[in-house]
Amino acid sequence: MASGRFWNRLGAGQLIRSICGAAAETAVEATLGKRQSQPYSEVVHSRLVIIWGHNPVSTAPHFMPHLRQAQRAGCQLVVIDPRRTRTAKGADWHIAPRPGTDGALALGLGHIIVANGWHDEAWLTQHTVGWPELAERLAEFPPERVATITGVSEADLTRLAQLYAETKPALIKIADGLNRNRNGGQTIRAVCALPALTGQYGVRGGGLAYSTSGYLQWDNEAINKWSDCPPPGRAVNMNRLGAALLGEVADPPIKSLFVFGANPAAVNPNAGKVVAGLQREDLFTVVHELFMTDTADYADIVLPATSQLEQADLHKAYGHTLLAYNAPAIPPQGECKSNWEVMGLLAREMGFTESWLYDDVDSVIEEVLTATAANNPALQVITLERLKSEGAIPLNLDSAVPFCQRPFSDPQRQSGTLLRGSGRGGRD
């Protein structure tokens, strides 16, 4: 997690990490103020779970035992996904809208909820900003229009809207796949509006399950050592890596590229430009990887990397609320080295003398934990010693129910909801 220290000390160019969840993160923070979600164990209190554009059977298996427990207790499961995923196969109802029309689907559901008086007017008046404007926007998405856009029948739209509005508590669970589309951020905002329409934020077993990153942000100085480093180099948006490598958005041109934990030739937008850039004869490319990836095929040097089983690490809560210490199960195989070890070796060859470039992994983890805990009570009972002994420890949260303090009542608070009318999200 602290491999950036070397690059910051070098003054290397910075990467704007915008492929994964930037649109959703911005949208959730703009709408709810914070990215908070209940612990996975809380889903047992849900009577309805809608998994939207997400396939946890394959991508979040640690969530599934909790969901299955809720289902055995009578919770209904609806999956919204264009594909018949493994998760959809275990649902009570699978709805398959056309790809890219999720925003219109959310606005259409909101339209039906409001048109039938199934919304919580008192909650909206007390806890939101922009509710009248959102109501006007929802009026533009009647069932007949939404059915044409999404391919979901009017009958199914009405059935789903009524099921969601009348079943409480109901939880909508999303992941980053839903935001990787045109108008992705506005699609997420439209989905975020649905628990507000039905007054389900701050309700145990209800609301929105997405990210828990709002509970814990690492101490930036402890991670990056910015105060001891030269000013950072230019920033390159990873969505435009191909254009940057070809000189369209980078002046002077990029002459060297070090790739680790990524495979841009396969996953970055405009892959043709990325590959063309990687083929430049004057570009020196190093790939630190476990496998011969598409990007490694174009590298000047490929360095063997360790896997999670071969290195110590600290895993911050992502969609869940646990902090985990990753103890190595086996020694590094062959000549494999971790990101942290490679950065230390490079720093030594560069002649850098700062001690924080050469600390052992446990020392870095302890430093980051201590510095972060000084300003975040979620970590104040979590130590490296406990993590190494227990493996995983729940964050020390004020409540297992996000937004139960009802922070939406004051429009002046940045944590207040901003339901100012979600965008079109989907096709017109």
| Dihedral angle computed from the Cα positions of residues 89, 93, 94 and 96, in that order, rounded to the nearest 10 degrees | 170
Mean pLDDT throughout 356-366? 96
pTM of the model: 0.91
Same domain, 278 and 329: yes
210, 237, 260 — which closes off a domain?
Answer: 210
Domain assignment present for 410 = no
Assign 66 to helix, strand or coil: helix
* In the block, residue with structure tokens 């195989």: 333
Residue 1 has pLDDT above 70, yes or no: no
Q: How confident is the model at residue 407 (pLDDT cuts 50, 70, 90)?
A: low
Cα separations (Å) of 318 from 31, 48, 165, 211? 19, 23, 28, 6
**Lowest-confidence pick of 2-6, 42-46, 309-313:** 2-6
Domain assignment present for 92 = yes
Q: What's the mean per-residue pLDDT of the chain?
A: 92
Residue 253 has pLDDT above 70, yes or no: yes
Give me the pLDDT at residue 414, please: 40
Domain assignment present for 230 = yes
177, 210, 243 — which closes off a domain?
Answer: 210
Q: How confident is the model at residue 408 (pLDDT cuts 50, 70, 90)?
A: low
The backbone torsions φ and ψ at residue 330, rounded to the nearest 5 degrees and listed phi first, read -140, 160
Q: How confident is the model at residue 251 (pLDDT cuts 50, 70, 90)?
A: confident
Q: How many angstroms separate the first and last alpha carbons of the chain?
A: 43
Phi-psi region of 12 (alpha: psi -120 to 50; beta: other; left: phi over 0): beta
Domain assignment present for 273 = yes
Domain that residue 184 falls in: 38-210
* Number of domains the chain contains: 2
Residue 129 has pLDDT above 50, yes or no: yes
Same domain, 142 and 80: yes
Give me the pLDDT at residue 214, please: 92
Please give the full DSSP string across 147-200, using - where no structure is assigned. HHHH---HHHHHHHHHHHHHSSSEEEEE-GGGGSSTTHHHHHHHHHHHHHHTT-
Mean pLDDT throughout 201-218? 95
173 contacts 50 by C-beta, under 8 angstroms: yes
Residue 426 has pLDDT above 50, yes or no: no
Residue 409 has pLDDT above 80, yes or no: no
State pLDDT tens for residues 36-93: 999 999 999 999 999 999 999 999 999 999 999 999 999 999 999 999 999 999 999 9
Same domain, 174 and 233: no
Mean pLDDT throughout 155-161? 98
Residue 260 has pLDDT above 80, yes or no: yes
Domain assignment present for 87 = yes
How many other β-carbons are positioned within 10 Å of the β-carbon of residue 362? 14
Same domain, 148 and 289: no
Same domain, 183 and 322: no
Q: What percent of the chain has pLDDT over 70?
A: 94
Same domain, 178 and 141: yes
Residue 170 has pLDDT above 60, yes or no: yes
For residue 252, whether the previous peptide bond is cis, meaning omega lies within 30 degrees of 0, is yes
Same domain, 201 and 232: no
Same domain, 184 and 323: no
State pLDDT tens for residues 262-302: 999 999 999 999 999 999 999 999 999 999 999 999 999 99
Give the domain CATH number at 363.
Answer: 3.40.50.740
4 contacts 224 by C-beta, under 8 angstroms: yes
Domain assignment present for 25 = no
Mean pLDDT throughout 197-224? 95
State pLDDT tens for residues 87-114: 999 999 999 999 999 999 999 999 999 9
Residue 405 has pLDDT above 80, yes or no: no
Same domain, 258 and 229: yes
Domain assignment present for 405 = no
Give me the pLDDT at residue 412, please: 45
Tokens coding 183: 């108008």
State pLDDT tens for residues 319-331: 899 999 999 999 9
State pLDDT tens for residues 226-236: 999 999 889 99
Secondary structure element (H or E) that encloses residue 417, with its range: strand 417-418
Cα separations (Å) of 278 from 233, 256, 261, 365? 21, 10, 17, 35
Q: What percent of the chain has pLDDT over 90?
A: 87
Give me the pLDDT at residue 17, please: 87
Give me the pLDDT at residue 207, please: 97
Domain assignment present for 215 = no
Same domain, 258 and 279: yes
Same domain, 46 and 163: yes
Same domain, 242 and 106: no
Give the domain CATH number at 78.
Answer: 3.40.228.10
Give me the pLDDT at residue 380, please: 84
210, 244, 261 — which closes off a domain?
Answer: 210
